[in-house]
Amino acid sequence: MPICIECRHPVKTLWREGAGDKSTGHNIRLTVCKNCGRFCDKYVEHDFVVIFIDLVLIKPQVYRHLLHNTLMKDEDKFAPSIIRLGVLLLLFDVYLTWARIEKQSVPEVDAAGSSSLSNFGRLAQQPIVLQYIFFLILCSLSTLAFHGSIRFLTSSRYSPLSFLGLLPQYSRPNSVSTALLVSSLTKLFPILMVIWAYDVPAAARSLGWAVVANNVEALKILLDCNYGVAAVLTMAGALSRWAMGRAVLWAAGLEGVDSAGENSVAEDGRALGALLVHAKEWAERLAVG
């Protein structure tokens, strides 16, 4: 049953047909919620651009529209659009991971001054198809670890969160993956950082934190839990993805390569701190002026 995106009250319908031209869609009349008096779902009349902007702005209403009124099915199956989105995010992740690791392939110089190939340099000597398959496997397994760990913590009867009474068992694991995929749309932004070299590290790093913030918000809305539980779920998924990435790199003999960004955690923290300082200074100037 659909819900009102403003107050989450269950409703029978989101819109009804009225007088008007059906060819232009002007015969649609939005349903007014009897509980809060506002439109049940204003995004029914909005196009994808507005929805995408509100997703980036982490508005709870747009997540309720997508997760409860649009994408979630009664049989808990993935919508075709979500499958396409998952494939697109995976392909972008492959390209970005490949580019990030390739930048670390600096020749190793010994004490005598002679250079030798790094671990990735030896991988780069392989055919391009084998390189692509390797990064596809790396990103696929990392993504599966991310989704699998969160699905286990939310939907398994053996979940420690369920034992502790922090989160009731959620019976729709595919809906959890749908929420994670929808909230990961901001992953598409860093592709611009690869095409154009921006000298703004704080802004570039903040995109990664934006994905985390979107994941937390999507899980909170879907599972109807508090921010603490949603943050724990997101952190568990990120740790599982990092561990799987390290395991694949170790199996390939690339244990010295940073793919998941564990060496950049401190840089992420410093960048986030710099971003908060800039935001504080901007807010102070705005208050003074």
pLDDT tens for 265-286 read: 444 455 445 555 655 666 666 6
Q: Work out the pLDDT band at 114, boundaries 50, 70, 90.
A: very low
Those residues with Cβ within 8 angstroms of residue 135's Cβ, 6 or more apart along the chain or in another chain: 94, 97, 98, 101
Place of tokens 């340099």: 121
Q: Which two tokens stand for residue 26?
A: 């002007």
Residues present in the chain in total: 289
Whether residue 235 is predicted with pLDDT greater than 60 in this model: the reply is yes
pLDDT value for 265:
45
pLDDT value for 276:
56
Q: Work out the pLDDT band at 74, boundaries 50, 70, 90.
A: low
- 2: phi then psi, degrees, rounded to nearest 5: -65, 165
pLDDT value for 20:
52
Helices (H), the chain: 48-56, 60-64, 80-102, 119-124, 128-155, 160-163, 173-182, 191-195, 201-223, 227-251, 265-288
**What confidence tens digit (pLDDT) does each residue in 237-254 have?**
989 998 998 898 888 777
Q: In the predicted model, what is the mean pLDDT of residues 151-165?
A: 91
Which burial class, exposed, middle or buried, applies to 162 when counting CB atoms under 10 A from its CB (0-12, 13-18, 19+)? middle
Q: What is the mean pLDDT of the chain?
A: 78
Q: Please give the Cα distance from 41 to 39 (Å, whole number).
A: 6
**What confidence tens digit (pLDDT) does each residue in 42-62 have?**
888 888 888 888 887 888 888
Asked whether 31 and 42 are in contact (CB, 8 A), the reply is no
When mean pLDDT is compared across 78-82, 100-104, 177-181, the lowest value belongs to 100-104
Q: In the predicted model, what is the mean pLDDT of residues 159-165?
A: 89
When mean pLDDT is compared across 90-99, 211-220, 238-247, 253-262, the lowest value belongs to 253-262
